[in-house]
Chain A
């Protein structure tokens, strides 16, 4: 007797992002096994990320290198200038990149950190004399050449710098990984006079020894990140009197460029994943929920194999925190608008983007550094090139892993994806080979009734949805359903996938 098809509707699949921690069989279908080049869109659906559009038209200065860091300089007079680093140069501009490296100043590394402070932008990198720029001088100069600057030997050649509480704070100097230096009040070039000073926290580390990696200012605290611990001082407005507020052992920061402020928390990447300082402070050294708890092992694996830079950015406009492992050319996109049941952010993965740096401008524009120069995070191509959106569900058992499932039809509902070629994939029983059904969405018109004459604003129907019904083959006890599409100019959101299957006999 013919059996009735059983419909399993995957509504808003993967809206909880990737989960590689839980057992595939026990997973909620709201998670995804793979969500590449995807974000969680404003409707909570998994969707293709935006692409980037190169602003730079002349990147002679950059050569074949990539932009390693970007920073917008803005002073009180409203003067702005985009600085970036790459190809062992200090670079300015977005369209035509201009070499701003001071004369007779040799650079052999591009791990600069730039901060704006008191109408100046400062450049710090370990073993290098810091550089400074202001609009009045209109040139990047050595810090020691500025009026009232300390001598070169007295200026910390630090790898980390922070502008907070009216001073520059810096740390991570060669052969001195436990001292935080602070400049004179409002005078970023003076490190020996006035109220400047330093604090050696080698005796403060909660686990006996650590090395300063990053600094942050949050909630009237000066937060000092070690590799494996965190030390927080309160009263940093008067550094000579600031006192230890808290210490956290076992949680540290991997790299200074992973630290981002979200307004309520300070996000940073530890050796065990993405953490939030605010929560860490609340919970102190008790077990804490990792914000990357759904991909912890993936993060750790990436950490262990990374041999280049870490870069990150927080974009409230996009609602994500991007963390890139430059050496592996992979980005983890954490949706910061909400967390899953385990307290983790929803996360997707962007592999092969070529993004090597980010910065968010004052107006919310997200700049991306690539080998093409400086790009803006916008549109749905990577500098006019398509990129592949991928979604794969976890293994689905439809509630009974002991019975055979025979897929009959797959009915995806897509939003957008104009002219996109979509590949619907499925596989049984954890096999790595997928069956594929390809279809092209076609050139869609947003007018009512599909008529171009109704594409005027007053008649538009908004983003188009596309529903297809594809026949599936094969059988197995568990099923993985996937969807891939090359994003080439149009957004794509996966609204749902309706799986029609026959439930077979017991095995």
Chain B
């Protein structure tokens, strides 16, 4: 840290390489400035320049924060932005259908979150509940083991055909009895050919009934799944209709939003054009002052053919510089 400490001698060296050089320069400058043809325009020019600078600084601040003019609060850019933010803010709306369903949106005042609510009418709710309940039942049926249903169907088919089979069996039995062939047993057919044929036919019928029952069970399963799907879809129809009913309203809301945004934009543009005009005017006024000060200053510091004379200010500067030399 010792390297960072600069002592007074070093400063003096830097100012004039030692002795009174720098202050001598300043004394000469003071001598020049205090000349009458330099001092007054110089001071006036400096003041005007300073005024222009100050005004330019105020213009920027006023453009940002606004100002009051003749008792009228003129908003700045920040005010304008806040105003436009408020103007373009989402405006909640609600839709009510002819069947009593309602669709609504609102913004949470705390979180700012936009929330949408849909409410069906009691009748629609009942319908939806019924349809969804039916869908649940159909899906439940579709998800059941088809074998149980297959057995049930097979039993029904067998019940339906058993009477005919019994009649056929009795008929055959009667025919065989009439033909004296009830007691026939053969290695080839087991019993009589007719018995084998009938047994085969009945077994085929049973197999077909089994197959038919299996197919029917699976068809019913698929049908239940389809019905479940259908009911499920139908259960959401009120909701879909509600959503469909909100489409025009949403378009209206969008149009409103669009108009709102457009109005806010126009408002901002109008406000900003006023501000800009003022800024330009003020900027022009400041520039004018600055030019006047610059002119004066440039006139004051333009060298003339007269020898410079000592001045009081120059002497004071030089004397001030001599104070630093006493220390040597």
User: Which chain A residues have a beta carbon within 8 Å of chain B's beta carbons?
Assistant: 178-179, 184, 192-204, 231, 233, 239-244, 247
The complex places the Cα of A184 from the Cα of B179 at a distance, in Å, of 22
A194 pairs with B187, CB closer than 8 A: yes
B178 contacts partner chain A, Cβ-Cβ < 8 Å: yes
B327 interface residue per 8 A CB criterion: no
Q: Beyond A197-B184, A199-B183, A244-B178: 6 further Cβ-contacts under 8 Å?
A: A195-B187, A199-B181, A199-B185, A200-B184, A204-B180, A231-B180
Does B186 lie at the interface of the complex (its beta carbon under 8 Å from any beta carbon of A)? Answer: yes
Those of B158-203 within 8 Å (CB) of chain A? 177-189, 192-193
Report how far A68 CA is from B178 CA in the complex, Å.
40
| Closest residue of A by beta carbon distance from B175 | A243
A109: min CB distance to chain B, Å? 29
- Given the complex, which residues of B lie within 8 Å of A184, measured CB to CB? 187
* B188 pairs with A201, CB closer than 8 A: no
User: Could you tell me the distance between the alpha carbons of A4 and B215 in the complex, rounded to whole angstroms?
Assistant: 113
Asked if A202 and B183 sit within 8 Å, CB to CB, the answer is yes
CA distance in complex: A495, B184 (Å): 58
Contact of B180 with A243 in the complex, beta carbons under 8 Å? yes
User: Could you jot down 27 A-B contacts, CB within 8 Å?
Assistant: A192-B187, A193-B187, A194-B188, A197-B185, A197-B188, A199-B180, A199-B183, A199-B184, A200-B182, A200-B183, A200-B184, A202-B183, A203-B177, A203-B182, A203-B183, A204-B182, A240-B184, A240-B188, A240-B189, A240-B193, A241-B193, A242-B181, A243-B180, A243-B181, A244-B178, A244-B181, A247-B180
**What residue of chain A has the Cβ atom nearest to residue B196's Cβ?**
A240
Tell me which residues across on chain B come within 8 A of A199, comparing CB atoms. Answer: 180-181, 183-185
User: CA of A233 to CA of B181 in the docked complex: distance in angstroms?
Assistant: 9
Assembled-state Cα–Cα distance A244/B177 (Å): 9
Minimum CB distance partner of B179 in chain A: A243
CB distance from A384 to the nearest CB of B (A): 53
Closest 5 CB pairs of A and B: A200-B183, A244-B180, A197-B186, A243-B179, A204-B180
What CA separation (Å) do A196 and B186 show in the bound complex?
A: 6
A244 to B187 alpha-carbon distance, docked (Å) = 20
Give every chain B residue within 8 A of A204 (Cβ-Cβ). 180, 182-183
Q: In the complex, A200 Cα to B182 Cα: how many Å?
A: 7
Q: How many residues of B contact A (CB 8 A)?
A: 15
Residues of B within 8 A of A178 (CB): 183
Kindly report which residue of chain B lies nearest to residue A150, judged by CB atoms. B187
- Tell me the nearest residue of chain A to B188, going by C-beta: A195
Q: Cβ of A244 and Cβ of B179 under 8 Å apart?
A: yes
Q: Is the interface of B mostly helix, strand, loop or mixed?
A: loop
| Neighbouring B residues of A203 by C-beta, 8 Å | 177, 182-183
C-alpha spacing A204/B182, complex, angstroms:
8
B189's closest neighbor in chain A, by CB?
A240
In the assembled complex, the Cα of A231 lies from the Cα of B179 at a distance in Å of 11
B193 CB contacts on chain A under 8 angstroms = 240-241
Please determine whether A198 and B184 come into contact, CB atoms closer than 8 angstroms.
yes
- Min CB–CB distance B72 → chain A (angstroms): 126
- Kindly report which residue of chain A lies nearest to residue B180, judged by CB atoms: A244
On chain A, the residues within 8 Å of B184 by CB distance are: 197-200, 239-240
Nearest-Cβ distance from residue B185 to partner chain A, whole angstroms: 5
Are B183 and A197 touching (Cβ within 8 A)?
Answer: no
A231 proximity list for chain B (CB < 8 A): 180
Cα separation A203 to B180 with both chains bound (whole Å)? 8
Minimum CB–CB distance for A212 against chain B, Å? 12
A247 contact set on B, CB distance < 8 A? 180
| CA–CA, A241 and B181, complex, Å | 8
Q: Which of A193, A198, A233, A243 contacts B185 (CB 8 A)?
A: A198
Among the interface residues B180, B181, B184, B188, which one has the most CB atoms of the partner chain A within 10 A?
B180
Kindly list chain B residues whose C-beta atoms are within 8 Å of the C-beta of A192.
Answer: 187
Query: Which residues from chain B contact A193 at a C-beta distance below 8 Å?
Result: 187
Q: Which residues of B contact A244 (CB under 8 A)?
A: 178-181
A240 to chain B, nearest CB (A): 5
Chain A residue at smallest Cβ distance from B184: A199
Q: How far is the CB of B45 from chain A (nearest CB, A)?
A: 144
CA distance A202 to B183 in the complex (A): 8
- Name the residue of chain A whose CB is nearest to the CB of B193: A240
CB–CB B192/A241 < 8 A: yes
Residues of B within 8 A of A194 (CB): 187-188
Which of A192, A196, A241 is packed against the most chain B CB atoms within 10 Å?
A241
Q: How far is the CA of A196 from the CA of B187 in the complex (A)?
A: 6
Bound: A198/B133 CA distance, A: 65
A90 vs B178: C-alpha distance when bound (angstroms): 43
Q: Which B residue sits closest to A247, measured CB to CB?
A: B180
List, in ascending order, chain A residues with CB within 8 A of B192's CB. Answer: 240-241
**Complex Cα gap A96–B179 (Å):** 51
Q: A202 to B184, alpha carbons, bound, how many Å?
A: 11
Residue in chain B with minimal CB distance to A198: B185
Q: Smallest CB-CB separation from A190: which chain B residue?
A: B187
Min C-beta distance of B104 to chain A, whole Å: 87
Min C-beta distance of A178 to chain B, whole Å: 8
On whether the beta carbons of A240 and B186 are closer than 8 Å, the reply is: yes
- Whether the Cβ atoms of A201 and B187 lie closer than 8 Å is no
Q: Is the CB of B183 within 8 A of A179?
A: yes
Q: How far does the alpha carbon of A200 sit from the alpha carbon of B185 in the complex, in Å?
A: 8
Contact of B183 with A195 in the complex, beta carbons under 8 Å:
no
Residue on B with the closest CB to A193? B187
For B183, the chain A residues whose CB sits under 8 A away are 178-179, 198-204
Bound state CA distance, A421 and B183, in angstroms? Answer: 63
The docked-state distance in angstroms from the alpha carbon of A242 to that of B184 is 10
- B194 nearest CB neighbor, chain A only: A241
Q: Bound state CA distance, A201 and B181, in angstroms? A: 8
Q: Give min CB distance, B198 to chain A, whole Å.
A: 14
CA distance A251 to B186 in the complex (A): 29
Q: Would A233 and B188 count as touching, CB distance under 8 A?
A: no
Select from chain B the residue with minimum beta-carbon distance to A242.
Answer: B181
Nearest B residue to A202 via CB reads B183
Q: When the two chains form their complex, are residues A239 and B177 in contact, meaning their CB atoms are under 8 A apart?
A: no
Chain B residue, CB-CB nearest to A197: B186
Contacts of B180 in A (CB 8 A): 199, 201, 204, 231, 233, 243-244, 247
With the chains together, A204 CA to B177 CA distance in Å?
A: 8
Interface positions, chain B 198-212, Cβ under 8 Å from A, are none
